[in-house]
Amino acid sequence: MSNSTVSFYDRPQSFSFSDIIVIATYFLLNLAVGIWSSCRVSRNTLSGYFLAGRDMAWWPIGASLFASSEGSGLFIGLAGTGAAGGIAVTGFEWNATYVLLALAWVFVPVYISSGIVTMPEYLGRRFGGERIRTYLAVLSLLLSVFTKISTDLYSGALFIQVCLGWNLYLSTVLMLVVTALYTIAGGLAAVIYTDTLQTFVMIVGAIILTITAFNKIGGYSNLERVYSLAVPSKIIPNSTCHLPREDAMHLFRDAVTGDLPWPGMTLGLFILATWYWCSDQVIVQRSLSAKNMSHVKGASILAAYLKLLPFIFIILPGMISRALYPDSVGCVDPEECVRVCGAEVGCSNIAFPTLVIELMPSGLRGLMIAVMMAALMSSLTSIFNSSSTLFTMDIWKKHRPRATEKELLLVGRIVTVILVVVSVVWIPILQSANSGQLYVYIQSVTSYLAPPVTAVFTLAVFWKRTNEQGAFWGLMVGLVVGVCRMVLEFAFPPARCGVVDSAPAVLRSVHYLHFAILLCGLTAIVVTTVSLLTPPPTHEQLCNLTWWTLTEEQPREIPLQKVSSISHRSSQGSEPTRRVTCGQGTGLCVSASRRSEDTPAPRVLSLRESVFWSRFCCANAILLVSINIFLYAYFA
């Protein structure tokens, strides 16, 4: 890193005493909410620590779903991509509406009736055997560390470093320690209630910044004009990459030449969103902690309404930032970009921090620092809690089936500490990998690894004939193809402005969102073919485990970990069995597990709900979809 870059980062900031008061107050409030929520729920049972006692209301869950998805990676990434290419990136947020409704109305009823805590556990019960469950647990942990934790840490540290001039490691380690403390101490209840506080802080702070930014350019009516004129003073001759896109104010872009082509932004994005919202541990764990199905639906509707907001308070301010500061945010000359932000490929990532430094008055600047800390901590708490659940329930419990609850809780907390250590070690690697395309990095890596999981979960829920062999080989083929594309992508990164692109034609001609469609389709074909060529799943692998079998009649013995043709075990397995009655019309397995006398039975979530609240939720869902379709049509 050049001296000029260091001088940029270390420049003295006009950081007043009132800013420090605001940040300190915010941290104290956060810890107080974490401690209060921890005391409300029993943290010494697995259900209490990992599922918040299954007694959460719709509003904290909805706020937590939103806050978990809006980490600092999205604050920095959405504003940066908005600055670089306009409003098309809004599709990533608005597409969530339909998948959140599918989560509450379709997927959660299946997960509840199957009596699971983690997503790999669902596939373990649906297909039998261990290999799919283990593969999914490991894949989820890797995705957490290398896409979620790493990008959130990098972007959060970048923000604080740019705004405050603090040492990168000091600010990151401080936040990690505070975050990990209340995650380890409080479990999911602490995470959900602190998420609710942070959602409120995020929205208030971002609205103030947005109003200030729009006042600076003379209102929304001037945005398109000032953005189209945002050309940096230093440009690269014989190139057009310094010019803002002509289609910047359009959601749907050309299917072939667009930076975010419309087929990818509809179908391809739907595949990625289905993985994230309907089969990712971070999100589903929150929905499973609800009191009943009405609260699950209410939480999804609230989260979907909140997901409409980033367009106004993250993406449009990113565009304003480029309009106001084209030489820094919109730089294209490599030397100039290194001087400004330390990255040759561009400085769009600093769009949001730059607005905060330049526009916010004393005190409010502290509030915005608190907002970014909230985003980072919210995202990290979600990942730490869910990753420790995954490791405890799907890896540790498999190797130590007789482990006590105390042992499992201790292991969950130790895993959180290990994740913190790995995250801190990863910081210098991220710092040296100064990517100017943070949001694209997150989405493209997801496009290479997530579509096979989407295909398998969807077929598992909706097609009764799907079996273990089909699902496993579908995942393996999808993994190989996805990793090959990912290796090519990192071997041939996008060329910077004015440099000839040496990447193979197939790499640039197939957009990563189009690749997600092809990969999901390929996985589905493999799953279907292998499933039809091998024996069908047993009745125990279908009862209350698919959408079509939620109302089976016959009572059956279902082992907690079923045996498949792959995994032969003695019938005297060490795990307890649960006697399951598939109740007609309720779609709910009534479980009578043989438990140790000192372990209280966890609260079972019922699929039944009041007629009034069921209709109220459905009416709200229809209104939500209508608003979403109107917004898409208006900005398309």
The DSSP-derived string for 223-273 is HHHHHHT---SS--TT--TTSPPTTTT-SSB-TTT-SSBHHIIIIIHHHHH
What CA–CA distances, in Å, run from 66 to 97, 303, 345, 382, 443?
A: 11, 5, 30, 11, 18
Question: What H or E segment, with its residue span, contains residue 201?
Answer: helix 168-217
Local confidence band at 281 (pLDDT 50, 70, 90 cut-offs): confident
For the beta carbon of residue 249, count every other beta carbon within 10 angstroms: 15
DSSP secondary structure code for residue 252 in this structure: S
What six digits make up the tokens of 78?
């959405």
Please indicate whether residue 282 or residue 600 has the higher confidence score (pLDDT): 282
Q: What is the pLDDT of residue 551?
A: 63
Q: Are 374 and 160 within 8 A, CB to CB? A: no
Per residue in 176-200, pLDDT (tens digit) is: 776 766 566 666 566 667 767 777 7
Helices and strands per DSSP (H, E), number in the chain = 31, 3
pLDDT surpasses 70 at 378: no
Task: Specify which of 132-136, 174-178, 283-287, 316-320 reaches the highest per-range mean pLDDT.
Answer: 316-320
Q: Is the model more confident about 566 or about 396?
A: 396
Please check the confidence at residue 365 and state whether its pLDDT lies above 90.
no
**What is the average pLDDT value for the chain, to the nearest integer?**
79
| pLDDT at position 242 over 70 | yes
Instruction: Name, of 64-78, 308-322, 400-414, the range with top average pLDDT.
Output: 308-322
Q: Would you say residue 218 has pLDDT above 50?
A: yes
pLDDT on residue 436: 57
Q: Report angle CA 138, 142, 144 to the nearest 5 degrees.
A: 115
pLDDT at 507 exceeding the cut of 70: yes
The single-letter code of the amino acid at 512 is Y
Average pLDDT for 254-276 = 90
Residues 444-454: what's their mean pLDDT? 91
Q: Read off the pLDDT band of 45 (50, 70, 90).
A: low
**Backbone φ and ψ of 586, nearest 5°:** -100, -25
Q: Which pLDDT value is given to residue 571?
A: 39
Q: What average pLDDT does range 22-34 have in this prediction?
A: 79
Q: Looking at residue 12, what is its pLDDT? A: 44
Q: In the chain, what percentage of residues exceed pLDDT 70? A: 80
Cα gap 129→126, rounded to integer Å? 9
**What confidence tier does 307 reach under pLDDT thresholds 50, 70, 90?**
very high
Query: How many CB atoms neighbour CB 177 within 10 A?
Result: 11
Retrieve residue 528's tokens: 């279907």
Q: State the average pLDDT over residues 572-583.
A: 43
CA distances from 484 to 433, 477, 480, 499, 539 (A): 21, 11, 6, 25, 37
Alpha carbons 282 and 522: distance in angstroms, whole number: 26
Instruction: Give pLDDT, residue 576.
Output: 43
Quick one: average pLDDT of 591-611?
53
Give the pLDDT confidence of 81-115 residue by residue, as tens digits: 899 888 999 999 999 999 999 999 999 999 988 88
Check whether 435 has a pLDDT greater than 70.
no
Q: Which of 588, 595, 607 has the alpha carbon at shortest distance from 45? A: 595
DSSP 346-387: --GGGHHHHHHHHHPPTTHHHHHHHHHHHHHHHHHHHHHHHH
* Greater model confidence, 613 or 376: 613
Question: Which one has a higher pLDDT value, 329 or 340?
Answer: 329
To which residue do tokens 């647990």 refer? Answer: 137
With tokens 């990712």, the residue in question is 280
Q: Does residue 19 or residue 473 have the better pLDDT? A: 473
Residues 6+ apart with CB under 8 A from 222: none
**Does the pLDDT of residue 275 top 80, yes or no?**
yes
Q: Which residue would you say has higher pLDDT here, 567 or 636? A: 636
Name 106's Cβ contacts closer than 8 Å, sequence gap at least 6.
278, 461, 547
- Exposed (0-12), middle (13-18) or buried (19+): which is 256, by Cβ within 10 Å? exposed
Q: What is the pTM of this model?
A: 0.80
Which ranges in 280-333 belong to alpha helices (H)?
A: 281-287, 293-306, 310, 316-324, 326-329
589, pLDDT greater than 50: no
Rounded CA gap, 388 and 118, in Å? 11
CA angle, residues 602, 576, 134, in degrees to nearest 5: 85
Cα–Cα distance, 371 to 426 (Å, whole number): 24
What pLDDT does residue 572 have? 38
Shortest CA distance to 369 belongs to which of 178, 160, 209?
160
Q: What is residue 242's DSSP assignment?
A: T
Give the pLDDT mean for 538-559: 70
pLDDT of 604 over the 60 cut: no
pLDDT at 279 over 60: yes
- What are residue 380's phi and psi, to 5 degrees? -65, -40
The fraction of the chain above a pLDDT of 90, given in percent, is 27
Greatest mean pLDDT range, 7-11, 81-85, 579-583: 81-85
